[in-house]
Amino acid sequence: MDTNIQLTDGVILLRPPRPGDVPAVAAAVRESLAELHPWMDWATDHYDEASASRWLEFTQLAWEHASAFQFVITDAQTGEYIGNCGLDGVNEKERVCNLNYWVRTSRVKQGLASRAARLAARFAIETIGLARVEIVVAAENVASQRVAQKAGAHYEGRCPNQMVVHTDVYDAVVYSLTPAEFAQS
């Protein structure tokens, strides 16, 4: 898959991560630990540039194998690093994947995560050829649910004991985006 892809709506730009992003990723994770840690196992006090570098290596391999597609979210005008958005669990046979996202604390509540979610979902459907993009969120993670809703995803239900974060078990709520959501836009 072409790693020179850029997806934009004029406000944000999604692109595959590059080695030069490592310091910005590490700084944004550290800035956002209070919001990330409850929902993301990888967001720990020990997250540093070496952690970001390992993440970058993993994402590059996943792009090469078309098994996952992680993007950095940047400001379309300034290039400032805002967060990450990605597609993982790509199942070509069932034509489905999972969508994930996070935005650094200093840029939340600006609608950027929902913009990124829509761009990534459109890529999954129109470029990869998937029929369904799922967003699976811990029921207590209200902020991520709002992102899914603002992105136009359909609420499908609650799944008891679906998700483990750290050692805590949570019910999950499932949202989806399908080609119908992009037919008119």
pLDDT in tens, 116-140: 999 999 999 999 999 999 999 999 9
pLDDT band at 45 (very low <50, low <70, confident <90, very high): very high
Domain 7-182: give its CATH architecture. Answer: 3-Layer(aba) Sandwich (3.40)
pLDDT band at 93 (very low <50, low <70, confident <90, very high): very high
What is the average pLDDT score of the chain?
A: 95
- Per-residue pLDDT at 123: 96
pLDDT band at 181 (very low <50, low <70, confident <90, very high): confident
Model confidence at 184: pLDDT above 70: no
| E-state strands within the chain | 7-8, 12-15, 69-75, 81-91, 96-103, 132-138, 154-165, 168-177
Does residue 114 contact residue 175 with C-beta atoms inside 8 Å?
Answer: no
What residue ranges do the domains of the chain occupy?
Answer: 7-182
Mean pLDDT over residues 137-152, rounded?
Answer: 96
Mean pLDDT over residues 81-98, rounded?
Answer: 96
Look up residue 157 and give its amino acid.
G
Mean pLDDT over residues 153-164, rounded?
Answer: 96
Model confidence at 61: pLDDT above 80: yes
Report d(CA 75, CA 151) in Å as an integer.
18
- Per-residue pLDDT at 183: 78
Look up residue 57 and give its amino acid.
E
- Per-residue pLDDT at 127: 94
21-27's contacts with Cβ under 8 Å and 24+ in sequence apart are 21/52, 21/56, 21/72, 21/81, 22/49, 22/52, 22/53, 22/56, 23/49, 23/52, 24/81, 25/52, 25/55, 25/56, 25/72, 25/81, 25/84, 26/51, 26/52
